Chain A
Amino acid sequence: NAGVTQTPKFQVLKTGQSMTLQCAQDMNHEYMSWYRQDPGMGLRLIHYSVGAGITDQGEVPNGYNVSRSTTEDFPLRLLSAAPSQTSVYFCASRINRSWGEQYFGPGTRLTVT
């Protein structure tokens, strides 16, 4: 199993550009999440999905969209990038919404200039 994969590893955007961060898992996990990590602020939940076709907002959803058309994929879209979105983004998955161990991808480091 590859586990949770994320692409790209690094990305530089100009303000106003759009892009999609890709996330995929091959463990047949129902539950997937996106977090951003900023110094001194820990990980903050952006969006999550309890299964294909179902998504919901986390703590900091503004400026981000998600969709979950398949169990495996959970892309995160930035429609109009802003410097405040400079961060490291982590995708995670676990078997379902209950208390199971959460598996994290390696992260995407995004810089918005």
Chain B
Amino acid sequence: AQSVAQPEDQVNVAEGNPLTVKCTYSVSGNPYLFWYVQYPNRGLQFLLKYITGDNLVKGSYGFEAEFNKSQTSFHLKKPSALVSDSALYFCAVSSGSSNTGKLIFGQGTTLQVKP
């Protein structure tokens, strides 16, 4: 069975500092990994994905994520946080060997960027 864990309910960072939002996963077969962001009272928006290839993937709004197979992790990063990055972030996983295409989400991490 697929599962995703986001170990931090909330991450606080000062504007201009680097940020990391953590995600670990469990899946049979090759993982397809995603990050989504949710602003208040809105639906989720796609940020980036890892399917295959380079372990460092770049996405929208200056975000990037690093795939680490040995640690089964896919942490979201940004070199310099903005107050406008404050939102709820979700990691999600699908299995490359699955024929259902089910996308399973983590619990979400609230990112708070203080000026």
Contact = CB atoms under 8 A, between A and B. Distances in A.
A23 B42 CA distance: 16
Given A58-B102, A97-B99, A97-B101, A105 B90 contact: no
Interface residues of B, number: 26
B100 interface: yes
Interface residues of A, number: 28
Given A40-B9, A45-B103, A99 B46 contact: no
B44 A104 contact: yes
Given A42-B107, A99-B49, A90 B102 contact: no
Nearest to A48: B102
Interface of A: 4, 31, 33, 35, 40-45, 48, 50, 56, 58-59, 90, 92, 96-99, 101-107
